Protein backbone atom coordinates (compact mmCIF):
# COMPACT_ATOMS: atom_id res chain seq x y z
CA UNK A 1 0.00 0.00 0.00
CA UNK A 2 1.40 3.38 -0.97
CA UNK A 3 1.07 6.38 1.27
CA UNK A 4 -0.97 9.16 -0.30
CA UNK A 5 0.64 12.52 -0.85
CA UNK A 6 -0.62 15.60 0.99
CA UNK A 7 -2.12 16.83 -2.30
CA UNK A 8 -3.98 13.52 -2.82
CA UNK A 9 -5.22 13.59 0.77
CA UNK A 10 -6.49 17.15 0.36
CA UNK A 11 -8.29 16.21 -2.86
CA UNK A 12 -9.86 13.18 -1.18
CA UNK A 13 -11.19 15.31 1.66
CA UNK A 14 -12.52 17.96 -0.74
CA UNK A 15 -14.38 15.23 -2.64
CA UNK A 16 -16.16 14.14 0.56
CA UNK A 17 -19.43 15.64 1.70
CA UNK A 18 -19.53 17.51 4.99
CA UNK A 19 -21.35 14.58 6.60
CA UNK A 20 -18.69 12.14 5.36
CA UNK A 21 -15.89 14.32 6.76
CA UNK A 22 -17.68 14.62 10.10
CA UNK A 23 -18.19 10.85 10.26
CA UNK A 24 -14.51 10.25 9.48
CA UNK A 25 -13.37 12.70 12.17
CA UNK A 26 -15.76 11.17 14.73
CA UNK A 27 -14.54 7.65 13.90
CA UNK A 28 -10.91 8.73 14.33
CA UNK A 29 -11.73 10.46 17.62
CA UNK A 30 -13.54 7.35 18.88
CA UNK A 31 -10.58 5.16 17.91
CA UNK A 32 -8.33 7.47 19.97
CA UNK A 33 -10.75 7.40 22.91
CA UNK A 34 -11.67 11.08 22.51
CA UNK A 35 -15.11 12.63 22.90
CA UNK A 36 -16.57 15.66 21.18
CA UNK A 37 -16.59 18.85 23.20
CA UNK A 38 -14.38 21.53 24.62
CA UNK A 39 -12.25 19.12 26.60
CA UNK A 40 -13.08 20.97 29.80
CA UNK A 41 -15.68 19.24 31.95
CA UNK A 42 -18.70 21.42 32.71
CA UNK A 43 -17.68 24.18 30.29
CA UNK A 44 -19.53 25.20 27.16
CA UNK A 45 -18.53 27.95 24.77
CA UNK A 46 -20.80 30.40 23.02
CA UNK A 47 -20.27 30.07 19.26
CA UNK A 48 -20.52 33.84 18.78
CA UNK A 49 -17.82 34.48 21.36
CA UNK A 50 -15.53 31.93 19.73
CA UNK A 51 -15.94 33.59 16.31
CA UNK A 52 -15.32 37.02 17.88
CA UNK A 53 -12.03 35.75 19.32
CA UNK A 54 -11.02 34.27 15.97
CA UNK A 55 -11.73 37.57 14.23
CA UNK A 56 -9.86 39.57 16.87
CA UNK A 57 -6.77 37.39 16.63
CA UNK A 58 -6.75 37.82 12.86
CA UNK A 59 -5.85 41.49 13.46
CA UNK A 60 -2.85 40.60 15.63
CA UNK A 61 -0.30 38.47 13.75
CA UNK A 62 1.74 37.98 16.92
CA UNK A 63 -1.20 36.08 18.44
CA UNK A 64 -1.32 33.59 15.58
CA UNK A 65 0.67 30.39 15.76
CA UNK A 66 3.82 30.48 13.70
CA UNK A 67 5.30 27.60 11.75
CA UNK A 68 8.83 26.66 12.70
CA UNK A 69 11.33 27.13 9.85
Residues 12-63: pLDDT tens digits? Answer: 989 999 999 999 999 998 998 888 876 777 777 788 888 898 888 888 877 6
Do residues 38 and 45 make contact, with C-beta atoms less than 8 angstroms apart?
yes
Indicate whether 31 belongs to any domain. yes
Domain-embedded: residue 67 = no
Taking the model in full, what pTM does it have? 0.48
Task: Tell me if 26 is assigned to some domain.
Answer: yes
Judge whether 61 lies within some domain: no
Q: How many domains does the chain have?
A: 1
22: domain range?
Answer: 1-35
Amino acid sequence: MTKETPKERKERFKAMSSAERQALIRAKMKAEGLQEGSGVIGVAYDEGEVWDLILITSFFPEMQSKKEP
